[in-house]
Structure 1
Amino acid sequence: MNFPVLMTERLNLIEINEEHVASIYSIFSNEEVIQYYGMSPLTSVDQAAAMVNSFANGFEQKRSMRWGIVWKETGELIGTVGLNNLSLNSKRTEIGYELLPAHWRKGIVTEAVEAVIDYCFNELKLFRIGAVTFPQNEASFSLLLKLGFEKEGVLKGYLYQDNESHDAFIFSIIQPEWRK
């Protein structure tokens, strides 16, 4: 299977490769971006290169997909959106996303996530998409609720960051509820 390129009005969602290591480093080394990500900020370009390789391996093994969010106007890679814990057999996945702070509050993540959800339900024929957020990440869970996700509950001690465990909210949407 070739990596699917998705296009929206303002964005190209593309496969992330070695050309994008510097952009991935700038995103995942940014403390504002990583604050609610469940990992420490990257501290070297080598770590970003390893992350890009892990994106490629996950796709190759059909267990994840990660798109680079490219702003059409500038051609700049400004964030990522992706599927984790992808199970084509069980027809489910989890979605995650991050964006450089200069592009927050412009509807970019909403546009990207909508395109990926459409792809999941219409092309991959998945039934369920889940999402996990830090309870403090109001922007993220507000976006999920706006898109029709339902909060299912709290996963106690589910996320580990900064040497401590944190609770997480779990959200989901199923195919029959999308765009109804």
Structure 2
Amino acid sequence: MTFPTLLTTRLRLTEAQVEHAPAIFEILSNPEVVRYYGMDPFQELAQAENIVQHFKNNFDIKKGMRWAIINNQSNRFVGTIGLNNLAIGMKKAEVGFEIHPDFWRSGITSEALQAVLDYAFEELDLQRIGAVTFPANEASIGLLKKQGFMEEGKLRSYLFQNGQSHDALVFSLLREEWHIK
């Protein structure tokens, strides 16, 4: 399968590549960005290069897809969004994303998420998209709810960050809910 490019009004979603590693490092080394990410901030560029390779490996074995979000007008790298824990045979995946703070609350994440959900439900024929987030991550929770995701419950001590365990909230969106939004 060829990695799909997704186009929206303002964005081009394309496969995350090693050339994006410096921009990914800039984002994932920012403590504010990873505050609710479930990992500690990156300390060196090699970590970003490794995560790009991880994205590629997951795509090659059909376990995930990670798009670089590129602003059409400025050609600037905005962040990444993708499908994690992809199980095409089981018709499910989880969505995850991180965006440069310059683009927070601009509607870009919503636009990118909408494109990925359309692709997941229409092209991959998935039935369920899940999402896991920190209970305090109000921005992501608001975005998920706006897109029609429903809260399913709490996973106790599910995430480990900054030397301690944290609870997580689980959300999901089903294909039939997506079409009625």
TM range (shorter): over 0.9
2:166 counterpart of 1:144 = no
CA distance in 1 between partners of 2:45 and 2:176 (Å): 42
CA distance in 2 between partners of 1:75 and 1:49 (Å): 21
CA distance in 1 between partners of 2:100 and 2:107 (Å): 13
Q: Which residue does 2:48 correspond to in 1?
A: 48
Cα RMSD after superposing both structures:
0.6
Q: Which residue does 1:172 correspond to in 2?
A: 172
TM-score by length of 1: 0.99
| Alpha-carbon distance, 1:179 to partner | 2.9
Q: Which residue does 1:18 correspond to in 2?
A: 18
CA distance in 2 between partners of 1:53 and 1:86 (Å): 17
Superposition pairs of residues 24-173 of structure 1, within 5 angstroms: 24-173=24-173
Number of equivalences: 180
Opposite residue 126 of structure 1, the aligned amino acid is: L
Opposite residue 172 of structure 1, the aligned amino acid is: S
Opposite residue 81 of structure 2, the aligned amino acid is: V
CA distance in 1 between partners of 2:96 and 2:109 (Å): 10
Consecutive unaligned residues of structure 2, counting only runs of 5 or more, are none
Q: What percent identity do the matched residue pairs reach?
A: 50
CA distance in 1 between partners of 2:150 and 2:58 (Å): 27
Query: Which secondary structure state, in structure 2, belongs to the residue aligned with residue 42 of structure 1?
Result: coil
| Alpha-carbon distance, 1:19 to partner | 1.1
TM-score by length of 2: 0.98
Query: Which secondary structure state, in structure 2, belongs to the residue aligned with residue 70 of structure 1?
Result: strand
CA distance in 1 between partners of 2:78 and 2:169 (Å): 26
| Alpha-carbon distance, 1:126 to partner | 0.3
Opposite residue 34 of structure 2, the aligned amino acid is: I
CA distance in 2 between partners of 1:149 and 1:115 (Å): 15
Deviation string, structure 1 residues 129-160 (Cα, Å, up to 9, x no partner): 00001000000011100110000010100111
Opposite residue 81 of structure 1, the aligned amino acid is: I
